[in-house]
Structure 1
Amino acid sequence: MGGIQKEKSRQKGESGIMKIFLTILITVFLVLAALLIAALIHTLCIPKKVSDYKPHPDEKRAKKYAGKLSRMVAYDTTSHQGIHDSEKFLGFHRLLTELFPLVHQKMEKTEIDGNLLFKWEGRNHDKPIVLMSHQDVVPAEGEWIHDPFSGDIADGKVWGRGASDTKCSVMGFFQAAEELLAEGFVPEQDVYLSSSCTEEWAGDGCPKLVEELKRRGVRPYLVCDEGGGIITDPIGGIKGNFAMVGVFEKGKADVQFTAKGNGGHASAPSPGSPIARLAAFENSVEKHNPFRVKMLPEVSAMFRTLGPYASFGLRYLFENLWLFKGLLTHIMPAISAQGAAMLRTTIAFTMQSGSDAVNVIPQEASVSANMRFIPHQGMEESLKIIRKRAEKYGLSMSVLYQSDYTKPVDIHGDAFHMVQDVIAQTFDGMTGNPYVMTGATDSRFYQEICDNVIR
């Protein structure tokens, strides 16, 4: 009899536990359903937008601009690390004088070792603006449809090295100033045109121009450099043209990992050779990425501004980041390399060396990599993490070059809003969307004298 009562008591206890479990499960389900429904209602309340901007070029002006850019591209301004060819850039400056005479007649010009700084005096001097670009280009390697220094105009494009990086910016800034000077326009604030000749190898050109501004006591309110642009279909599911504005750039380092061993002949290999350890290390980093993902406020803001233009599924996610931020943060690296680069520090293995003969196991082998640092895991922490991983495989690490991430621009500040307003006025209501600049530019040198460096 006592056994029966114990069994009934046990069953009753189990039943009670099951009821509690079901109650919790149902509660969780109802809360989740309520959240999803709330997100759905919020999404439905936001009107769908369409980005229908299309350029309407003036044919006559377009030909004039293309002709000027063509001549600039045709002038070879290739730069090489540690080599300064001042005569090459002085020749390019003579071309600029010919193409933009009013800029050279009416602005104050300063030339420092091939680097240019023009001052366009405004009515006021408390919030000066710097418009920057670079004259130099990287070497033209590989095969080209058109000769890299032909400056050919074909198929509605100017072809050649530097056409987009960044003689187009040099031409755009100078041409705009040339036309406004012809109209007698005086800017509200001082405007500086800044153009270095060592950008492609992170040389000392731009720092010299920054030092000159510091010497004059100039602290720019806004600096605009290369980086973003008008992008077509920036993300799958979002159609149209969108202006992307870089609000900070990731840090950068070039690192080398070295493995040492006894070496020997390939006919009698021992396990754990230098190349094998390097390969195991690289595979480890590729398969088990050591860097933490996080959605920064600037990335969240990008999704929010793009959200109204997205397909319904993406709009549902982007307009409800309060609910889906964690989900997006973890799935983006799996579906997009560019998405991953906006969320964490990256490392790319780019160069490897070992034996000089195919049948010899080297005593020493090395692999080089390029790293890009994100603010939530900056240069010092990221280098420490990758060094620790390398040491597990018996590798040494040396840092060949390093530069940390730049301070993010305040996307709620007046300077960023001014850039957005200019974009909207110039391109028929187009919005300026913040994004993370994963490349490296000269503009990072300006952060010591400017809080609003836009790319």
Structure 2
Amino acid sequence: MKYEEKLSKMIQVETVSVRGELNLPKFIKFQELLKELFPNVFKTMEFKTFDGAMLLRWKAKNPKADPILFMSHQDVVEATGEWKYPPFSGQIAEGKIWGRGTVDTKGSLFCIFQSLEELIEEGYEPNVDVYIASSNTEEVAGDGAPKIVKYLSDNNVHLQFLIDEGGMIKSEPLKGAKGRFAMIGTLEKGTCNFKFIAKGKGGHASVPGKNTPLVRLGQFMASVEKDDPFKAKLNDTTIEMFRRLGPSIKGPLGFVLRHAKGLSPLLNKVLPKVNPLATAMIKTTMAFTTCSGSNGLNVLPETAYVTGNSRVIHHQDADETYRIISERAKQFDIDTEIIYSSTACPVVDYKGKEFKLIENTIKEIFPGVIPSPYAMTGGTDARFFSPVTENAIRFAPLEIDEQQYKSIHALNENINIDVLPKGVEFYKAIVKKM
């Protein structure tokens, strides 16, 4: 069966995860399909499930070092709106496979399984244990990955490194950067969800009074947007990314990025004003996401609230983030509650041998592509694995264009057929280098 046909079948099994719902039957169905598509893997590797989350182990006869782990989640987000091709059809057309999950992240999951399927068929014997982990709750920040981590930790498994979703191969990852770049996530921010609550007397809307709960919430949100309370600070990962991308950017910007380390004070002030993506890489962010007031069009709420999603950078941790934002909220007589809080993940050393292994493999498999570390602005399952590894590397070896990047969690998600072979080759090469 051709690569694209296998991935198409994987897309056709709908695996949308819903917060608070396990939906185990759909993931069992998906795993039964994987057993059909990759028989050598399931005959050879130990297979365990944790309420739908998968862990497979290819045991080395005489392991020479700690194991490695490849990750990619099974679950996908919902697919609404008018698609060019039905989102769970796995349509093969125009040189692409179409459907929800092709990029995020069944495409890389296919490459992982296919690579080990081929190695087993070739009679290859690994020098270290090789694990595959695939949660069914990544998109809803569920407990699939933590259950896998608990099992590994309870069994005293320490990983040399893991490779999860994260950056990919893309042209112009930063505006003006000409060329093809492999963006390797080495830093992942923490997450805090807050609830900001304003109280008042309520009453009839015909006599509204001043400083009602909704007005104060609006003033508070406008204040945070206009006068951002969080501090921008260039980190080593972003400085190195600028150094590597800088030579591809013409003019003054290229010069500044190439010399980012010496110009950090200037960039800390300028970047937040001109580049939202770069800003998110160097500071804690706050996005206001949901709200509630009264249930009546002519009723003033006694209590109103908004929620905020904050992505927490390393130099201002979750506790400091709470302190900063709650102090700002108090200025508007607003209380702050913590809904959820997680700290930023350990940073992978881009000078370390684990990163160098990934970097050199990219150069071999993808000639002309420039590898670079970068700071992840989103979240992945890799954040849960710090108890079992110091090297959670976030990179999927697939090349995508701007439309495909924007299709993640949006309409018309698709991936080119011709990028799959090199994705498979990448994982095979990593195993053989152990």
The interval holding the TM-score normalised by the smaller chain is 0.7 to 0.9
Cα 1:429–1:218, aligned 2, differ >3 Å: closer, same or farther?
Answer: farther
Matches of 1:138 and 1:203, distance apart in 2: 13
2:12 maps to a residue whose letter is A
Deviating more after overlay: 374-383 vs 352-361? 352-361
Deviations 1:407-429 (A, max 9, x none): 10111111111111111111015
Residues 13 and 88 of structure 2 are in contact (CA less than 8 Å); yes or no, is this contact kept in structure 1? yes
Q: CA shift at 1:85, angstroms?
A: 2.2
Instruction: Tell me if 1:232 matches 2:184.
Output: no
Residues 244 and 432 of structure 1 are in contact (CA less than 8 Å); yes or no, is this contact kept in structure 2? yes
Counterpart residue number, 1:169: 108
Deviating more after overlay: 262-271 vs 304-313? 304-313
Counterpart residue number, 2:240: 301
Counterpart residue number, 1:404: 343
Counterpart residue number, 2:30: 92
Q: CA shift at 1:454, angstroms?
A: 0.6
2:18 maps to a residue whose letter is H
Matches of 1:354 and 1:264, distance apart in 2: 13
- The number of equivalent residue pairs is 393
Counterpart residue number, 1:206: 145
Residues 69 and 171 of structure 1 are in contact (CA less than 8 Å); yes or no, is this contact kept in structure 2? yes
Counterpart residue number, 1:20: none
Cα 1:322–1:336, aligned 2, differ >3 Å: closer, same or farther?
Answer: closer
1:93 maps to a residue whose letter is Q
1:121 maps to a residue whose letter is K
Q: CA shift at 1:322, angstroms?
A: 4.3
1:174 maps to a residue whose letter is F
2:201 maps to a residue whose letter is N
Counterpart residue number, 1:73: 11
Matches of 2:249 and 2:222, distance apart in 1: 36
Instruction: Tell me if 1:113 matches 2:69.
Output: no
Residues 13 and 26 of structure 2 are in contact (CA less than 8 Å); yes or no, is this contact kept in structure 1? no
1:80 maps to a residue whose letter is V
Residues 423 and 429 of structure 1 are in contact (CA less than 8 Å); yes or no, is this contact kept in structure 2? no
Counterpart residue number, 2:399: none
Deviating more after overlay: 248-257 vs 105-114? 105-114
Q: Which runs of 4+ in 1 moved over 4 A?
A: none
Deviations 1:341-364 (A, max 9, x none): 011100001111112222222111
1:370 maps to a residue whose letter is N
Equivalent of 2:372, from 412, 433, 436?
Answer: 433
Structure 1 segment 342-421 matched on structure 2, within 5 A: 342-421=281-360
Structure 1 segment 120-199 matched on structure 2, within 5 A: 120-122=58-60, 123-199=62-138
Task: Give 1 or 2: higher helix fraction.
Answer: 1
Cα 1:125–1:412, aligned 2, differ >3 Å: closer, same or farther?
Answer: same
Residues 153 and 388 of structure 2 are in contact (CA less than 8 Å); yes or no, is this contact kept in structure 1? yes
Residues 246 and 454 of structure 1 are in contact (CA less than 8 Å); yes or no, is this contact kept in structure 2? yes
Counterpart residue number, 2:275: 336
Matches of 1:387 and 1:216, distance apart in 2: 41
Residues 180 and 370 of structure 2 are in contact (CA less than 8 Å); yes or no, is this contact kept in structure 1? no
Matches of 1:88 and 1:429, distance apart in 2: 41
Deviating more after overlay: 311-320 vs 95-104? 311-320
Residues 153 and 387 of structure 2 are in contact (CA less than 8 Å); yes or no, is this contact kept in structure 1? no
Residues 53 and 135 of structure 2 are in contact (CA less than 8 Å); yes or no, is this contact kept in structure 1? yes
Matches of 2:214 and 2:366, distance apart in 1: 53
Matches of 1:351 and 1:147, distance apart in 2: 30
2:215 maps to a residue whose letter is A
Q: CA shift at 1:398, angstroms?
A: 1.2
1:373 maps to a residue whose letter is V
Instruction: Tell me if 1:282 matches 2:221.
Output: yes
1:86 maps to a residue whose letter is L
Q: CA shift at 1:391, angstroms?
A: 1.0
Residues 179 and 369 of structure 2 are in contact (CA less than 8 Å); yes or no, is this contact kept in structure 1? no
Counterpart residue number, 1:249: 188
Counterpart residue number, 1:5: none
Residues 138 and 380 of structure 2 are in contact (CA less than 8 Å); yes or no, is this contact kept in structure 1? yes
Deviations 1:308-343 (A, max 9, x none): 222142332122234422222221111111111011
Instruction: Tell me if 1:263 matches 2:202.
Output: yes
Counterpart residue number, 1:53: none
Could you say what secondary structure the match of 1:375 adopts? coil
Counterpart residue number, 1:311: 250
Counterpart residue number, 1:22: none
Matches of 1:283 and 1:289, distance apart in 2: 10
Query: So what's the TM-score if we normalise by structure 1?
Result: 0.84
Gaps of 5+ in 2: 395-434
| Structure with max Cα Rg | 1
Deviations 1:138-168 (A, max 9, x none): 2223332222211112222222221111111
Deviating more after overlay: 311-320 vs 248-257? 311-320
Q: CA shift at 1:232, angstroms?
A: 1.1
Matches of 2:140 and 2:126, distance apart in 1: 33
Matches of 2:161 and 2:48, distance apart in 1: 20
Matches of 1:318 and 1:199, distance apart in 2: 34
Q: CA shift at 1:93, angstroms?
A: 0.8
Matches of 1:264 and 1:330, distance apart in 2: 45
1:74 maps to a residue whose letter is Q
Could you say what secondary structure the match of 2:129 adopts? strand
Could you say what secondary structure the match of 1:321 adopts? coil
1:167 maps to a residue whose letter is K
